[in-house]
Chains A and B, each alone.
Chain A
Amino acid sequence: MSFNLKKEASKPERFVGGHRLCAGCGAGVAVRGVLRALNEEDKSVCGVATSCLEVSSYLYPFTAWQESYIHSAFENVAATISGAEAAYKALKNKGKMKESYKFIAFAGDGGTYDIGFQSLSGAMERGHDMVYVCYDNEAYMNTGLQRSSATPKFAEVSTAPVGSVIPGKMQHKKDLTETMVAHNVPYIAQTTFVGNCKDMHEKSYKAHYTPGPAFLNILAPCPRGWRYPPEELMTLCKLAVETCVWPLYEVIDGEWKLSYEPKTKLPVTDYLKLQGRFSHMFEKGAEWMIEDFQKFTDKKWERLLKKCK
């Protein structure tokens, strides 16, 4: 499959304008990118967990979804899509379905790493033919920037504020992608918006057309929560990759494959300094936080390189 952005971008949109996501938000970019990778003849059922994406895209009676869409609750999008896929299979088996549908679950990091984790784990283990997409913006943005287990260490969030004693969140980010690898899911990938989004497109295509479950973890920055100017969305994604804070890789049938290795690994400060949520790390006396963050990033990166060899 050769990627041609012009050609791909000329396909009919499946998630259209009129939604109320903020300028510079990664959620809509992720949804459009994932859906664009569907073959034109395929329809889909998209489940969305309670999230910014959900409250912004289907406010009765207006929907931004050109696909069938369902929202049910916060913690159950994987189970929801399981049920839809099961009904599709049953109706196919009974000869009542002719058309071909794909089943996709979208959720933020709160709905995936935390409250929706059990539902996700169950659906992946059962092996439904579905794609689970986490758009990871590293906190509960919909409720006003609270800490999730995807929030990076030291980030300032509203339930782990920076105080005179505690400097923001004190735990490192949970590695959910690795956890999903342990589920023996046939296709797993980590991606974000880099360059012409070829990486996200190709991974989405593989996720859609690998039989069985697939899991995509997409770093999708949030301008309000991360505190960056909306036009810097792509810059941040690129820096997350170039600093190895968010490495791009795939795990295909248990085999780890690095998608991109930076020629020169940039220091984490290049990524952190653009974001208001990390500003206290650049104050006098906070050097240890930068060191800690860099050390953690390096350790994770080295481990990933070993797995990908």
Chain B
Amino acid sequence: MGIRERLAGNEAVAIALRQIDLDVLPAYPITPSTDVPMYYSQYVADGKVKTEFVAVESEHSAMSACIAAAACGGRTATATSGPGLALMWELLYVASGTRVPITLAVINRAMSAPININNDHSDSMGARDTGWIQLYSENNQEAYDNHIMASRISEHKDIMLPIMVCQDGFITSHAIENIELLEDDKVKAFIGEYKPAWSMIAGKPVSVGPLDIPQFYTEHAYQRAQAMKNSKKVILDVFKEFGALTGRKYDLFEEYKMEDAERAIIVLNSSAGTAKCACDALRAKGEKVGVIKLRVFRPFPLEELAKALSHVKAVAVMDKAECFSAIGGPVFADVRTACYDLEKRPQIINYIYGLGGRDVRLEDFTFVYNKLDEVVKTGKSGEIYRHLGVRGV
């Protein structure tokens, strides 16, 4: 079953969106996400989809158009990277606050300055508190699969929150890998007809985007927070259904050789593959090491992660984003929070790594595992906020 192909991540995303046959795709080009609207506009030009492709004049307008298209009951998505995501910032909150489903393909790129077109996660990590669900993708297959599942999650009546599907710029967006695609009709059947609960252009007029005075704003924020909490169950249900369809089983995070692991690395996106490789090499030497790859970062899988780490002695959280808090990266902060209530807490250190496209090698993860070994042996974490491979310090 399925269609075997060789595709770069961006094309895989474009194909997923074509199979969904969006109603509106507004987009603005930015490296390395530009291929997505390029491929899609070709589908439009060739009549393969009936989408309105709106070549807007900025990412700010792209997200603005998405919000209104969704408020008209249209299925909509766009793609962006780094500074493009930053320009959407204001509207990211508007999108989640308006409670409209939108899929945003984030092809992760470093934030300026200095300007850098290469990969890290400072863009989507900066947007982690905007009320968007965030899925991360290790490879092209996951990027494709996540996009097929995204609208089902986002459009669910108990959720109605926009969703970001992230993958690493260039590393997976431009690298050609083997992939198994679903047939168009199977995607159509899986995502189903979108029947929005309300629309500005169906039935009675609707007013969208009110001014909230203080007596209502809190309640609306609370409802949004509840929707985010509820989304975990919906995400797992959609994963399960997708697994039954494709045989590709997904969870909130992937546990790799974690059953008896004493040392663990927590990582997102493409670096997970490299970490697993380093893990395998050490396992061959009899070392009890494992990897946890987070797939769902918002909502954060707090209880599940705590359980997975309950038997681990030392954990290194890998953050491909510097958030300048002076105490560590964003994933680190949440993982430490997750472990706080454990009876026996692992020692947890943080590595900021791979910024601005800095190559992440097998030996980097071996190095981190060895550092964890020192932590286990000495019982001391030492400096918990560390930077990997910084030259000249």
| Residue numbers in A under 8 Å from B57 (CB-CB) | 118-119, 121-122, 125
B26/A94 in contact, CB under 8 A: no
| Residue numbers in B under 8 Å from A69 (CB-CB) | 200, 205-209
A82/B54 in contact, CB under 8 A: yes
A59/B210 in contact, CB under 8 A: yes
Pairs A-B, 9 closest by C-beta atoms: A83-B65, A122-B57, A87-B74, A79-B61, A83-B68, A71-B209, A87-B72, A60-B210, A76-B64
In the bound complex, how far is the Cα of B71 from the Cα of A125, in angstroms?
A: 23
Q: Given A72-B94, A86-B54, A90-B51, A60–B212 Cβ distance below 8 Å?
A: yes
B205/A86 in contact, CB under 8 A: no
Q: List 18 A-B contacts (CB under 8 A).
A: A43-B201, A47-B68, A58-B209, A59-B211, A76-B60, A80-B64, A83-B54, A83-B67, A84-B68, A84-B72, A87-B201, A90-B51, A91-B72, A91-B201, A101-B201, A122-B61, A123-B61, A126-B56
A residues 64-121 in Cβ contact with B at 8 Å: 65-73, 75-76, 78-84, 86-91, 93-94, 97, 99, 101, 118-119, 121
How close is B235's CB to chain A, nearest CB, in angstroms? 26
B58/A83 in contact, CB under 8 A: no
Closest B residue to A86 using CB positions: B52
In the bound complex, how far is the Cα of B244 from the Cα of A61, in angstroms?
A: 43
In the bound complex, how far is the Cα of B94 from the Cα of A11, in angstroms?
A: 34
In the bound complex, how far is the Cα of B55 from the Cα of A42, in angstroms?
A: 28
B55/A45 in contact, CB under 8 A: no
Q: Given A45-B201, A81-B68, A90-B24, A70–B61 Cβ distance below 8 Å?
A: no
Closest B residue to A65 using CB positions: B207
B68/A80 in contact, CB under 8 A: yes
| Residue numbers in B under 8 Å from A90 (CB-CB) | 23-24, 50-52, 74
Q: Is A55 an interface residue (CB 8 A)?
A: yes
From the candidates A76, A78, A121, name the one contacting B91 in the complex (CB within 8 A): A76
How close is B51's CB to chain A, nearest CB, in angstroms? 6
A43/B205 in contact, CB under 8 A: yes
Max chain B CB contacts within 10 Å: which of A65, A67, A76? A76
Q: Given A45-B72, A122-B57, A89–B90 Cβ distance below 8 Å?
A: no
What 0/1 pattern do residues 63 to 77 of B give for CB contact below 8 A with A? 011111111111010
What 0/1 pattern do residues 312 to 356 of B give for CB contact below 8 A with A? 000000000000000000000000000000000000000000000
A86/B69 in contact, CB under 8 A: yes
A66/B205 in contact, CB under 8 A: yes
Q: Is A250 an interface residue (CB 8 A)?
A: no
In the bound complex, how far is the Cα of B201 from the Cα of A74, in angstroms?
A: 23
Chain B binding surface, main DSSP class: mixed
| Residue numbers in B under 8 Å from A123 (CB-CB) | 61
In the bound complex, how far is the Cα of B98 from the Cα of A118, in angstroms?
A: 23
A contact set with B: CB distance below 8 Å: 43, 45, 47, 54-55, 58-61, 63, 65-73, 75-76, 78-84, 86-91, 93-94, 97, 99, 101, 118-119, 121-123, 125-126
| Residue numbers in A under 8 Å from B50 (CB-CB) | 90, 93-94
| Residue numbers in A under 8 Å from B1 (CB-CB) | none
In the bound complex, how far is the Cα of B62 from the Cα of A210, in angstroms?
A: 26
Q: Given A72-B91, A90-B24, A94-B23, A83–B66 Cβ distance below 8 Å?
A: yes
B55/A126 in contact, CB under 8 A: yes
Closest A residue to B203 using CB positions: A99
B contact set with A: CB distance below 8 Å: 23-24, 26, 50-52, 54-58, 60-62, 64-74, 76, 90-91, 94, 98, 200-202, 205-213, 216
B73/A61 in contact, CB under 8 A: no
How close is A116's CB to chain B, nearest CB, in angstroms? 10
| Residue numbers in B under 8 Å from A122 (CB-CB) | 56-58, 61
Q: Given A90-B51, A93-B50, A79–B205 Cβ distance below 8 Å?
A: no
B72/A88 in contact, CB under 8 A: yes
In the bound complex, how far is the Cα of B60 from the Cα of A83, in angstroms?
A: 12
| Residue numbers in B under 8 Å from A70 (CB-CB) | 68, 71, 200, 207-209
From the candidates B56, B70, B201, B205, name the one contacting A82 in the complex (CB within 8 A): B56
Closest A residue to B205 using CB positions: A68
A82/B72 in contact, CB under 8 A: no
B90/A73 in contact, CB under 8 A: yes
| Residue numbers in B under 8 Å from A86 (CB-CB) | 23-24, 26, 52, 54, 65, 69, 74
A61/B68 in contact, CB under 8 A: no
| Residue numbers in A under 8 Å from B24 (CB-CB) | 83, 86-87, 90
| Residue numbers in B under 8 Å from A94 (CB-CB) | 23, 50
Closest A residue to B94 using CB positions: A72
In the bound complex, how far is the Cα of B15 from the Cα of A96, in angstroms?
A: 24
How close is B213's CB to chain A, nearest CB, in angstroms? 7
Max chain A CB contacts within 10 Å: which of B24, B51, B200, B202? B200
In the bound complex, how far is the Cα of B216 from the Cα of A226, in angstroms?
A: 33
In the bound complex, how far is the Cα of B55 from the Cα of A123, in angstroms?
A: 10
How close is B61's CB to chain A, nearest CB, in angstroms? 3
From the candidates A80, A93, A99, name the one contacting B201 in the complex (CB within 8 A): A99
How close is A167's CB to chain B, nearest CB, in angstroms? 36
A119/B64 in contact, CB under 8 A: yes
Q: Given A75-B60, A87-B74, A68–B201 Cβ distance below 8 Å?
A: yes
A91/B74 in contact, CB under 8 A: yes
| Residue numbers in B under 8 Å from A125 (CB-CB) | 57
In the bound complex, how far is the Cα of B74 from the Cα of A87, in angstroms?
A: 5
Max chain B CB contacts within 10 Å: which of A75, A78, A79, A83? A83
How close is A19's CB to chain B, nearest CB, in angstroms? 11
| Residue numbers in A under 8 Å from B207 (CB-CB) | 58, 63, 65, 68-70
In the bound complex, how far is the Cα of B60 from the Cα of A122, in angstroms?
A: 12
